[in-house]
Amino acid sequence: MAESANASAILIINNRPELFKMVCEDDEPDVEIGIPAVMLPNKIGEILENGLTNNSIVSVQLYSPLRPLVDIAEVFLWLMAVGTILFASYWSAWTAREAAIEHDKLLKDASDESSHVEGGSAGPLVEISTMAAILFVVIASCFLVMFYKLMSFWFIEILVVLFCIGGIEGLQTCLVALLSCFRRFKRAGESYVKVPFFGAVSYLTLAVTPFCIAFAVVWAVNRRVSFAWIGQDILGIALIITVLQIVRVPNLKVGTVLLGCAFFYDIFWVCVSKWWFHESVMIVVARGDKSGEDGIPMLLKIPQMFDPWGGYSIIGFGDIILPGLVVAFSLRYDWLTNKTLRTGYFVWAMTAYGAGLLVTYVALNLMDGHGQPALLYIVPFTLGTFLTLGQMRGDLKVLWTRRTREALPARTTPILSLSIEESG
C-alpha cells in the first residue's frame, strides 16, 4: 500500500458534504497508520455476516501463530514416496529375474521354444518407447486442461470412480503377490478357474477381490471424513506399485526422454500456465477448486499435524511413478548384470530421488507453502546422477542405446548375466 503526502477527505456536516484538503508539511514526521486486513474462508464470512445481521455481539481477535519450520506430515509423505519406489523396484527386479530363469529353462528344454515372450510368470508387461514417452506428456497435458475446464462436483465423482477401479486392481495385485509368498496360499494362487469375460483367474484372486471392492467402496462413500486420507493413500500406493511393476522403460534413452518431457510439463503447468490462465492450472486441478471437494483423488496426502492452519501435504502420482520407472530400471540392470550395491546404480538413483524430493519440500517451505513443481528438483537429481555415474563408469553407451532381455547364461554359471540386443 502506497502513501500520498496530499489527500482529500469528505465530511458531511448538516447533511452537506464538505471537501477538505489534507496536507503534510515537509518538516512534519510521517505518521504510521496500520490497518490490519485478513482473508477469511467463505464459510467463516457467512457466519460473521449472519451474526451481524442478527444484532449479535461479534468480536474478532487477530492472531498470527507461528508455523513449524518442518511439519511431521512432510516427513511421513517423503517416507511414503521413497518406500513405494523402493518396494516397487525390488518387485520389478524380482519378477525380471524369475522371468530370466523361466526363459533359460525354455531354452534348455526345447530349441523351438526359445522365442518365448519375455515376462513369463511376471504377467503382461508394457515397455515404453521414445515416441510413447513424448505422446504421454502431450496426452497428459490435454487431460489436465480438460480437468481444469470441466472441474465440477460431478466431474470429481467420475474421477473418484476411475480411481476406485484402478485402486481395486492395484490392491488386488499387491495382495495376491504378497499372500502367494506364504506356503498356505501358494496353492490357491497357482490354481485357476475360468471366469466369463475375464478368462483364467486364480482362486486366490477370487478370494481377495471382494475385499478390495468393499475397501474401495467404503472409502468412496466416506471420503469426506477426517481420516479418509488413510484409505486414499492405501489405494494410491497399491496402484503406483502395480503400475511400476507392469510399465517399464527398456533403456536410459527412453527414461531420459520421459523425464525430460515431464520436467518441462511440470514447470509449465505449475508456473508458466499462470500467464495464460491467470492461475496455476496444476494447483487448481490438484486442489479441486470449484468442485466442492478437497481435491482430486490421484495423489497421496497426509494432514499437517502441527500446522495451526491445517491443510494437507500432498504429492501427485506422477512425481512418484515417472522417476520410479527409471529407478526400477536401475535395479533390474544391476541384478541382471550381477552388480553389487556398491558397483551398481540403484543405490545412487534411489538416493538421488530422495534428495530431490527433500529439496522440493525445502523449497516449498521457503516459498511459504506455495505449490512447487516437484519434478523441477527430482529430475535433475535422479537423471543427472544416473547419467553422470554411467559416463564415469563407461556404461553409458550400454545403458543408453541397448535394452535388457531377461536371460540366464549357461548352466555352468549360476549367476544371472545380461543378454543385450539392439532396441527396435
Which residue from 128, 111, 136, 121 is spatially nearest to 423, judged by alpha carbons? 128
What does the DSSP assignment read for 72-93?
HHHHHHHHHHHHHHHHHHHHHH
**Which H/E stretch holds residue 303?**
strand 299-303
Contact 252, 388 (CB under 8 A): no
Q: Distance between the two ends of the chain, CA-based, in angstroms?
A: 62
Evaluate whether 200 touches 210 at the Cβ level (below 8 Å).
no
CA nearest to 162, candidates 175, 179, 176, 143: 143
Q: Which residues are catalytic?
A: 266, 319
Partners of 422 in the β-ladder: 402
CB 247 within 8 A of CB 128: yes
How far is CA 288 from each of CA 164, 167, 262, 299, 321, rounded to the nearest angstrom? 17, 20, 22, 12, 21
Residues recorded for the chain: 424
Using CA of residue 54, residue 59, residue 62, residue 63, what is the dihedral sign? negative
The DSSP bridge pattern shows strands 312-316 and 402-407 to be: unpaired
Residue 70: which of 309, 304, 370 has the closest Cα? Answer: 304
Tell whether the torsion through CA atoms of 248, 83, 73 and 377 is positive or negative: negative
Residue type, 55: N
DSSP string, 78-139: HHHHHHHHHHHHHHHHHHHHHHHHHHHHHHHH-GGGTTPPTTGGG---EEPPHHHHHHHHHH
How far, in Å, CA of 296 to CA of 316, rounded? 10
- What CA–CA distances, in Å, run from 312 to 109, 174, 238, 277, 287? 56, 26, 20, 25, 10
- At residue 200, φ and ψ (nearest 5 deg) are -75, 125
